Amino acid sequence: ASGTEATYTFTPSSALTPATYQKIIFVIQGKASAGFDLELIVNNIVAGYIYQTTLNDSGTLSGSTASGQSEFVACPIEIIDADRPFYCEVNCYFNEVDNLLQINADGGGSNEGSSRVFGETTTAIATITSLEFETSTSTWGSGTTIDTYGVLR
């Protein structure tokens, strides 16, 4: 990012399909202006995300489950703190058995801890036309990077 931003949308030149891709990987590194959840929205679908979070917040372990959510929380606010570096790797897998997109995310924040989130969409997704990362509040700072990779079949 050349400045502060709260959203980033990846729109491929042609739709991503399970016939071509095993998974799509995003690596996000940056610094937050204030704490936020790093959220993912697939194909503009804003309902039906389910996920489980395992959190190590400064040495305190906890877990939680969410269902019927309007976004997938890839890295929770407990990990992304104001003016501290953070990292998150998000893997999106096509599940061809039921056409759901399964999502696995690992994140970490400087002096904050780490998180592991696994979940899926409850809406069938045969192709990916857009993936949007957004913050729940605040912005990420200048110099934040979001790298995108695709693993071919």
CB 104 within 8 A of CB 93: yes
> Which residues lie across from 73 on neighbouring strands?
39
Rounded distance between C-alpha atoms, residue 47 and residue 5, angstroms: 23
Residues 23-73 have pLDDT tens digits of 999 999 999 999 999 999 999 999 999 999 999 998 899 999 999 999 999
Residues 96-149 have pLDDT tens digits of 888 899 999 999 998 889 999 999 999 999 899 999 999 999 999 889 999 999
DSSP string over 106-151: EEEETTTEEEEEEEEESS--SSB--EEEEESSS-BPTT-EEEEEEE
CB neighbours of residue 76 within 10 Å: 23
> Which residues lie across from 85 on neighbouring strands?
31
